[in-house]
Amino acid sequence: MPRRTDIKSILLIGSGPIVIGQACEFDYSGTQACKALREEGYRVILINSNPATIMTDPELADRTYVEPITAEVVEKVIERERPDALLPTMGGQTALNATMALVKRGTLEKYGVKLIGASAEAIHKAEDREAFKHAMQRIGLRVPTSGTAHTREEAIKILDQTGFPSIIRPSFTMGGTGGNIAYNREEFEKLIDWALAMSPVSQVLIEESLIGWKEYELEVMRDLKDNVVIICPIENLDPMGVHTGDSITVAPAMTLSDKEYQRMRDAAVRIMREIGVDTGGSNVQFGLNPQNGDMVIIEMNPRVSRSSALASKATGFPIAKIAAKLAVGYTLDEITNDITGVTKASFEPTIDYVVVKIPRFAFQKFRGADPTLTTQMKSVGEVMAIGRTFKEALQKAIRSLELNMNGFSSREGLDRGIPEGFDRPQGLERVRQHLRTPISERLWHVADGMRLGLSNDDLFALTMIDPWFLEQVRELIQFEALLVGQAGKKSSALEESFLWRAKELGFSDDRIAQLIGSTSASVRKQRTRAGQGKRGVTYKRVDTCAAEFEAHTPYLYSTYGSECEARPTDRKKVIILGGGPNRIGQGIEFDYCCVHAVMALREEGIESIMVNCNPETVSTDYDTSDRLYFEPLTEEDVLNIVEREQPLGVVLQFGGQTPLKLALPLSKAGVRILGTSPDAIDRAEDRERFRDLLNKLGLRQAESGMARSVDESLRIAAQISYPVMVRPSYVLGGRSMQIVYDESGLLEYMRSAVKASPKHPVLIDKYLSDAIEVDADAISDGTNVVVAGIMEHIEEAGVHSGDSACSLPPYSLDHSVVEEIRRQMKALALELGVIGLMNAQFAIKDKTIYVLEVNPRGSRTVPFVSKAIGVPLAKLAMKTMVGKTLPELGLVEAPAPAHLSVKESVFPFNKFPGVDVLLGPEMKSTGEVMGIDQDFGWAFAKSQAGAGAPLPKGGTAFISVKESDRPAALEVVQQLQRLGFAIEATSGTAAYLRDHGVQTETVNKVKEGRPHVVDHIKNGQIALVVNTVRTASAHADSLSIRREALNKGLAYYTTIRGARAAVMGIEAILKTELTIRSLQEYHGTGSAER
């Protein structure tokens, strides 16, 4: 069937900010969809509130709305753009939910917008737990015994049939938010309340437990002619009970015979037909009883998902792109498989390698978070690795994680055998303890269990991990013992065949060196010598067809085989190192920059070579760069590629910390680093050198010192005076950073958080309280510097810059201050010899500017600034690195837009019950949204709505602030009152407010008896919360207020500056109408009507 001609324009809804369960995989899918639909000549209208996405680049759609994804705003877009159709399946749960809301409002009917890809009925049938259960029963498939509840009482009744442990699954949430496993009645009652609160429709499924069953996932595509193909069977290494997003997963399925696999395939096909997903990709999850093969259907997603991204990268089959084409009427047999160029999309990929995905967690960022893995997703990112065997892929995935583990590093210190004096029984007990409940490092504990003599049966009983996987790990651990047996010998004495065997098994040079007591450099040397150009690392192509057809796309992975398919070209080429797994502090923004670097190289006629290991990304699409190496970002793996490709140079400044860590080792190995020199990077990162740099330029820095002992820390703190900011010197990204207000606080920190030592000193900085923080991004070609964006933080200095909301241009700073920052930026960039991007953070206190830090690389804010000012900074930066000057690129001065752009951060607190939502110097956000408007108030209001906590238009505001904030709070409260809000406050604040003429209701603090403020929040009597605290004990007292505000989705502010901005936002939404504009309109660019 040819493409549909009855539709001309299509609206696409993105997935909004990056949160746990919904990460950059939807940028990958949305980007593919935009490209595919425009390729077919459709006018594409896009809405997504997340500026750090490739899909929101103005070139990718005809109209791009960076606006909050709410039914109200999407309706406005529809009213304005009048699209013929809406494709709801590319933007994750967010897009599905928004679509269903539009259906309910009658918007689609009113404007005659057709749903393509999946109908409302299909979405309902798949997403509504009860409807899905009935659908499965209709086609004779088993689902776990379950019941649906809307109240705690209903839920308890269901328990009679389902028993314990009990699986709790809220409806219409993503990443299993609010889901859990309850082992007893008490736990159940607690968890059910949470689950009901998390479901937007207050619906919860109570399900029989299938903990320990094997879990599988099938990715399915269907077209309008009812052709169905399975893209990939994926097997979870972690059995049922762990959310699939938190499981280690493997493709293809490893332990299914053909009979069982086909039964699953049959079921998947029938489910597609029964649910009625007309076109596109879906995934179906299965549980399988390892004792007898009983099969149950867990769930299905009628849309592309995180696992479709994984399956796409794992097979080379671009699910989202094909799904978009199917949505507009093509059939699978009409679409060519890009990789082979001769076969069609209507086939099932077969793979001749193994893919392993390992999730990455961030529990250390959330004090008090429960690290047990359950049915609710908790990981913030993932890595994928490809190897010719499971063992090789697994070891590559481990080193891709960047957790300082070069392999199965022992958690018990048993890497090189069991040390003398090791208490074996105690060690075993510890290991058993770790294995009983699933946690993120379980597989490493499995390895330790093996080292301590546990059998596969023992380990299976503890973990229910399939013995096949256990045996694979055992083979690695056994080989490690052989390597340890070589210790003491020179690495040059390693027998050649033994070395190759180790490499085939995926051992890194580093791990081999550690086990034989050598250095990775000497293992590398030995490897090169032994290979003599004949043996060594080889690259294979991912081709969808196990080599049955020739692959035309250089999508490569390394292995130790006998034939290399890399076939490097002799063109001018550049390697770009990607950002690795998403984690807090390093997310989609860096992938955005890498993709732009690729585009820039293409425009310059230079071949781009991408190296990355994050399957969720656009950068790892095989058609993004000219050549893609899906590889770990370690020194060894990158050097191997450099040796094979011989590029002009390597680009490090776009991938965040990951590639930056490689600057020194790579340049030591003689690799040319493009752009800013590694020495300049060091000058900005090394404390002493950085101080010299600022002194030379006459710039100010907050007073600071370095303590190597507790006594020294007290001395320094006293000298520079409290409050001070403290952090260990060896971590980045704000980990373990804290503000301490007095000596006892400092002592507490020094005792509990860090161990100061001569090798690992603790850094102490003067904390500039109530200072305004500013982020700035600049681009330089070495001679010319353009300061592209200066952003004023909404929250005061002390809140991590990645967590703070910010405004571009500044909304309260004096012009002279802004100009001075601009001057300092230029001076810094020139002095450092920056070629490419530079970011710096400043604190402004009493009009004095302090430089906080300088990062001579692409920063988190680059995509935001690019979208705010309409200049593709990363792209231009890449071009400066290959010799272009800024004037040549037409950038002499940054445009000063008439509109305001506000960035707001988005936090994963709703995934971690009990964790405090207060912001501090340690970064906690997973993503960001952008609000754009003509005035600050509206831009801020939009950013809040985009982040999921829309500003209220009236009601009661609850105020409880620390003493020092009271005068400032008064101003905020007076304005709220003027805007019609009633005011409620705890006794101290209330008294102060009343003294100053504000009519205020007093409400009990939680410890003061009921009804208290949390009761009020729970009852829906509060619309806005302003709560600032200082001391740790006050934190604990008010924690439940903030948690409850979060649960209720209320707008809450924990800083006065934030509250002030909220007031401006409320004023705007009360006084003026919502207006929306596309990026193309803001920047006067974009394509004309087609």
Partner 1 sequence: MKKALLALADGTLFEGRALGYEGETVGEVVFNTAMTGYQEVLTDPSYKGQIITMTCPHIGNYGVTPEDIESRRIWAEGFIVKEASSLASNWRSKQQLQGYLLDAKIVGIEGLDTRALTRHLREHGSQQGLITHIEMDTRLAVEKAKAAPSIIGRDLATTVTCEQSYRWTEGSGEWIPALGDKPRVAATRRWHVVAYDFGVKQNILRQLVDVGCAVTVVPASTTAKQVQTLKPDGVFLSNGPGDPEGVPYAIAAVRELIGQYPLFGICLGHQILGLALGLKTYKLKFGHHGANHPVMNLRTRQVEITSQNHNFAVQVTQPISAIPDRPPVIETSFGKVAVTHLSLNDHSIEGLACVDRPVFSVQYHPEASPGPHDSAYLFTEFIQLMEKQHV
Could you please report the per-residue DSSP string of 318-372? -HHHHHHHHHTT--GGGSB-TTTSSSBSSS--B-SSEEEEEEE--GGGSTT----
Q: Give dist(CA 115, CA 111) in Å, integer.
A: 12
- Short-list 77, 27, 59, CA closest to 870: 59
Q: Which is nearer to partner 1, 342 or 718 (CB)?
A: 342
Name the one range near partner 1 by CB under 8 A: 142-150, 545-553, 615-623, 764-772: 545-553
Nearer to partner 1, 273 or 689 (CB): 273
Which tokens sit at 391?
């063992």
Please spell the DSSP secondary structure of 764-793, one letter per residue: EEE--TTPEEEEEEEEEESS-EEEEEEEEE
Query: Among residues 140 and 605, whose Cβ is nearest to partner 1?
Result: 140
Q: Would you say 551 or 970 has its CB closer to partner 1?
A: 551
In angstroms, rounded to a whole number, what is the distance separating the alpha carbons of residues 470 and 466?
Answer: 7
Residue 183 sits in the site that holds partner 1 (CB under 8 A)? no
Half-sphere exposure of 927 toward its Cβ, with a 13 Å CA cutoff? 27
Closest CB 532 distance from partner 1, rounded Å: 17
* Residues numbered 436-475 forming contacts with partner 1, rule: CB under 8 A: 456, 466-468, 471, 475
Cβ nearer to partner 1, comparing 352 with 711: 352
Closest CB 287 distance from partner 1, rounded Å? 14
C-alpha dist (Å) from residue 243 to 374, 378, 947:
6, 8, 24
Nearer to partner 1, 263 or 996 (CB): 263
Cβ 865 vs Cβ 789: under 8 Å: yes
Only one of the segments 306-314, 523-531, 541-549, 699-707 lies at the binding site for partner 1 (rule: CB under 8 A); that segment is: 541-549
**What is the nearest approach in angstroms of partner 1 to the Cβ of residue 546?**
4
Interface of this chain with partner 1, residues 685 to 724, rule: CB under 8 A? none
- Are 645 and 569 a contacting pair, CB within 8 Å? no
Rule CB under 8 A: is residue 270 a binding residue for partner 1? yes
* Structure tokens that stand for 774 in this block: 């500013």
Q: Is the peptide bond before 165 cis (omega within 30 degrees of 0)?
A: yes
For residues 840 and 773, what is the distance between their CA atoms, to the nearest angstrom? 11
Least gap, CB of 173 to partner 1 (angstroms): 30
| Min dist. Cβ of residue 510 to partner 1 (A) | 24
Stretch touching partner 1 by CB under 8 A, among 64-72, 221-229, 770-778, 1005-1013: 221-229
| DSSP conformation letters of 660-718 | HTTHHHHHHTTPPBPSS-HHHHHHHHSHHHHHHHHHHHT-----EEEESSHHHHHHHHH
How many residues bind to partner 1 according to rule CB under 8 A? 67
Stretch that binds partner 1, among 227-235, 376-384, 720-728, 881-889 (CB under 8 A): 227-235
d(CA 972, CA 318): 51
Q: For partner 1, give the closer residue by CB, 460 or 907.
A: 460
Least distance between partner 1 and beta carbon 239 (Å) = 13
257 lies in the binding site for partner 1 (CB under 8 A): yes
Instruction: Give the number of other CB atoms < 10 A from CB of residue 570.
Output: 7
Which range in 121-129, 164-172, 266-274, 756-764 contacts partner 1 by CB under 8 A? 266-274
Closest distance between partner 1 and the C-beta of residue 631, in Å? 17
CB of 568 vs partner 1, minimal distance in Å: 18
| Token couple for 225 | 């002619």
Choices 220-228, 692-700, 809-817, 819-827 (CB under 8 A): range interacting with partner 1: 220-228
- The structure tokens 């690799």 sit at 671
Residues contacting residue 533 through CB under 8 Å, at least 6 positions apart: none
Subset of 549-608 contacting partner 1 (CB under 8 A): 549-550, 561-563, 565
CB of 253 to partner 1, least distance (A): 8
The answer to whether 546 contacts partner 1 (rule: CB under 8 A) is yes
Q: Which two tokens stand for residue 52?
A: 């750090």
Tokens, residue 1036: 């604990």
User: According to the binding rule CB under 8 A, does residue 258 interact with partner 1?
Assistant: yes
Which one-letter DSSP state was computed for residue 1022?
Answer: -
With residue 93 as reference, give the H or E element that holds it: helix 92-105
Residue (109 or 550) nearer to partner 1, CB = 550
Between the CA of residue 791 and those of 247, 478, 777, 784, what are the distances in Å? 39, 55, 9, 21
Is position 255 an interface residue for partner 1 (rule: CB under 8 A)? yes
Residues 233-252 that bind partner 1 (CB under 8 A): 233, 252
CB of 257 to partner 1, least distance (A): 5
Binding mask 329-368 for partner 1 (x = CB under 8 A): --xxx--------xxx-xxxxxxxxx--------------
* Touching partner 1, residues 130-159 (CB under 8 A): 139-140
Name which of 546 and 718 has its Cβ closer to partner 1.
Answer: 546
Interface with partner 1 (CB under 8 A), residue from 4, 43, 125, 265:
265
Instruction: With beta carbons less than 8 A apart as the criterion, state whether 449 and 435 touch.
Output: yes
Rounded least distance, CB 332 to partner 1, Å: 6
Distance CA 998, CA 977 (A): 8
Rounded CA Rg of the chain? 28
Please tell me whether residue 820 binds partner 1 under the rule CB under 8 A: no
Binders in 273-332 for partner 1, by CB under 8 A = 273-274, 290-293, 331-332
Q: What's the rounded Cα separation, in Å, for the pair 209 and 168?
A: 9
Q: Minimum distance from CB of 347 to partner 1 (Å)?
A: 4
Beta strands in 915-1030 (DSSP E): 927-933, 956-960, 982-985, 1001-1002, 1024-1027
Query: Does residue 533 bind partner 1 (CB under 8 A)?
Result: no
The tokens for 359 are: 């999730």
- Of 386-394, 484-492, 771-779, 993-1001, which part binds partner 1 (CB under 8 A)? 386-394
Q: Which of 39, 121, 189, 266 is the binder for partner 1 (CB under 8 A)? A: 266
Q: Would you call 847 exposed, middle or buried from its count of C-beta atoms within 10 A (0-12, 13-18, 19+)?
A: exposed
By CB under 8 A, is residue 535 in contact with partner 1? no
Based on CB atoms, which residue is closest to partner 1, 228 or 990?
228
Of the candidates 37, 229, 599, 609, which one interacts with partner 1 according to CB under 8 A? 229
Which regions of 783-884 does DSSP assign to beta strands (E)? 785-796, 806-808, 835-845, 848-855
From the CB of 353, what's the least distance to partner 1, in Å? 6
Our finding on whether 262 is near partner 1 (CB under 8 A) is yes
* Shortest Cβ 1072–partner 1 spacing (Å): 55
Residue 262 or residue 1031: which is nearer to partner 1 going by CB? 262
Tell me the closest approach of the beta carbon of residue 547 to partner 1, in angstroms.
4
User: Could you please report the per-residue DSSP string of 500-560?
Assistant: HHHHHTT--HHHHHHHHT--HHHHHHHHHHHHTTTSS-EEEE--SBTTSS---S-EEEEE-
Any contact of residue 503 with partner 1 (CB under 8 A)? no
Judged by CB under 8 A, the chain residues 388 through 427 that form the site for partner 1 are 388-390
Q: Is 227 in the site for partner 1 (CB under 8 A)?
A: yes
Phi, psi angle pair for 354, to nearest 5°: -125, 140
Could you tell me the smallest distance in angstroms from the CB atom of residue 1007 to partner 1? 55
- Footprint of partner 1 (CB under 8 A): 139-140, 225-227, 229-230, 233, 252-263, 265-267, 269-270, 273-274, 290-293, 331-333, 342-344, 346-354, 388-390, 456, 466-468, 471, 475, 538, 540, 545-550, 561-563, 565
